[in-house]
Structure 1
Amino acid sequence: MASSSHIEWTEATWNPVTGCTKVSEGCRNCYALAMARRLEAMGNPRYLNGFNVTLHHDLIEVPLKWKKPRKIFVNSMSDMFHKDVPDEFIKSVFKTMNEASWHTFQILTKRSSRLSELAPQLNWTDNIWQGVSVENDKVLDRIDHLRQTPAAVKFLSCEPLLGPIDNLNLQGIDWVIVGGESGPKARPMEEAWALSIRDQCVEQETAFFFKQWGGVQKHRHGRILDGQTYDEYPDVKQPVSN
């Protein structure tokens, strides 16, 4: 439940919570649900509950054992701010992130309302990056909720990008990731949608990262947009090794 990652914008994953439920259109073909079903069928003990929300108390302090600094995607197989994750459990995860100051932790949620409500009770050290998923223009309110948090780095994950988002207000947003959906039921992403977000990032001086075109066989389509690769990250001070 804590391992190196093939996700282009991070280096490792850490899953003290597994399992989730669908809340918006971006969840329709959830990769984590498909993976959890495979792991359950293989008898993985972490998935005895399938994709029901499950707390793994024994994994909370795992990043403290990793001495080499790395970018860590928190709960890639769940959502930290799901209603079934208790406040105290979230605070214990934050405690580990606070103590593991040499790592950079990247949290992504679709439950932005709970994020904004709980944020004042959490200790937002500078090594914690908070993001929200924005798959289309129907969920732009998530960005406003994100802006209300004191996270040092705030980012958007426009993946899977399912439609045009031509009026992004990126005030207070440090980073935008864009990517197409992948997998057997992948819905196509139009080039114009990705280019529009890239141009808005340039105009508003926000770092832009193009993750992938996606598709049924995503490796065939790569991650070149308009003739180049976009691998920008927020301009922040890097954590110091412990």
Structure 2
Amino acid sequence: MTTVSRIEWTERTWNPTVGCTKISPGCKHCYAEVMARRLQAMRASGYANGFELTLLPDRLEDPLGRKKPTVYFVNSMSDLFHDEIPDAFITQVFDVIARTPQHTYQILTKRADRLAAFFSTHPVPRNAWIGVSVEDRKYGLPRIDQLRKVPASIRFLSVEPLLEDLGSIDLSDMHWVIVGGESGPKARPMKKAWALAVQQQCEAQGVAFFFKQWGGWGADGKRRAKSANGRVLEGRTWDEMPATAP
């Protein structure tokens, strides 16, 4: 089963696995964990174990039945490169991706070491966009160097939640950067200067920039349930996509 996505930069989600474990500060207030527990309480299919890592092989072939070209975010409720997911299962996921060239698949991970190791011995389908999360300097920035090793047609960074000033970023061989603040009742603030610094470096280095949201804090630094200018940065909405976007 795939579902329509509310994420601004994709169309549908496909979750052949659900559940995860926390490995860095960006995981602290995981939206997927909260949603998984809610779905477990509703007895939704696939969530009997809540947020415990669960492989769902019956979902592997879901995209095969959809002929209309679609942008899929893979594993919005998990991390495909989690240590406990066998290489054989990951290979099955990418086999489906390769068999459906009409679709575009966006795969995002915090397990950049395993990502690079996997693709050192496996091909990357042309229609797979590969990305890593970059929330801070200590954990996030080193993932970029690992992503650079992956011969993907599109490499992207999800700088969300942006938790601090990232300083100077080497964006060579990157094609797209998404920036966003944290949402939810315990959201940590994102400063305007941090987001602007990333945008300016994207512009200087020729990388597409997408501003997703302010999250739980507005551009004025005030906490609110929903910011009236939730996607506006420096007076405009940033919806740039990679040059080869469908």
1:221 CA drift (Å): 4.3
Q: How many residues align?
A: 238
String of CA shifts for 1:20-62, please: whole Å, max 9, x gaps: 0000000000000000010111112311111111011010011
User: What residue in structure 2 maps to residue 124 of structure 1?
Assistant: 124
| Residues in 1 aligned to 2:168 and 2:156: alpha-carbon distance in whole angstroms | 16
User: What residue in structure 2 maps to residue 176 of structure 1?
Assistant: 177
| Residues in 1 aligned to 2:31 and 2:62: alpha-carbon distance in whole angstroms | 24
Alignment of 1:229 with 2:237, yes or no, is: yes
Structure 2 length normalisation: TM-score? 0.94
Query: Would you say the 8 A contact 1:154–1:173 is kept in 2?
Result: yes
1:122 CA drift (Å): 2.4
Q: What's the secondary structure of 1:93's corresponding residue? A: helix
String of CA shifts for 1:61-88, please: whole Å, max 9, x gaps: 1111111111100000000000011000
User: What residue in structure 1 maps to residue 168 of structure 2?
Assistant: 167
1:203 CA drift (Å): 0.3
Greater than 6 Å deviation, 4+ residue runs: none
User: What residue in structure 1 maps to residue 148 of structure 2?
Assistant: 147
Spell out the pairing of 1:171-210 with structure 2 (5 A cutoff): 171-210=172-211
| Residues in 1 aligned to 2:121 and 2:98: alpha-carbon distance in whole angstroms | 14
Structure 1 length normalisation: TM-score? 0.96
User: What residue in structure 1 maps to residue 68 of structure 2?
Assistant: 68
Q: Report 1 or 2 for greater relative contact order, CA contacts < 8 Å, sequence distance ≥ 6.
A: 1
Counterpart residue type for residue 107 of structure 2: I
Structure 1 residues 219 and 40: CA distance shift in structure 2, 3 A: farther
User: What residue in structure 1 maps to residue 36 of structure 2?
Assistant: 36
User: What residue in structure 1 maps to residue 59 of structure 2?
Assistant: 59
**Unmatched tracts of structure 1, length 5 or more:** none
| Residues in 1 aligned to 2:205 and 2:43: alpha-carbon distance in whole angstroms | 48
User: What residue in structure 2 maps to residue 81 of structure 1?
Assistant: 81
User: What residue in structure 1 maps to residue 16 of structure 2?
Assistant: 16
1:219 CA drift (Å): 5.3
User: What residue in structure 2 maps to residue 102 of structure 1?
Assistant: 102
User: What residue in structure 2 maps to residue 49 of structure 1?
Assistant: 49
Query: Would you say the 8 A contact 1:13–1:72 is kept in 2?
Result: yes
**Unmatched tracts of structure 2, length 5 or more:** 217-223
115-124 or 207-216, larger mean C-alpha shift = 115-124
1:161 CA drift (Å): 0.4
Counterpart residue type for residue 125 of structure 1: P
Q: What's the secondary structure of 1:3's corresponding residue? A: strand
Query: Would you say the 8 A contact 1:182–1:217 is kept in 2?
Result: no
Higher share of residues assigned helix: 1
Q: What's the secondary structure of 1:137's corresponding residue? A: coil
Q: What's the secondary structure of 1:177's corresponding residue? A: strand
| Residues in 2 aligned to 1:3 and 1:131: alpha-carbon distance in whole angstroms | 21
Query: Would you say the 8 A contact 1:98–1:123 is kept in 2?
Result: no
Say what the alpha-carbon RMSD is for the aligned residues: 1.1
User: What residue in structure 2 maps to residue 135 of structure 1?
Assistant: 135
| Residues in 2 aligned to 1:142 and 1:213: alpha-carbon distance in whole angstroms | 23
1:112 CA drift (Å): 0.3
227-236 or 118-127, larger mean C-alpha shift = 118-127
| Residues in 1 aligned to 2:45 and 2:125: alpha-carbon distance in whole angstroms | 33
1:217 CA drift (Å): 2.5
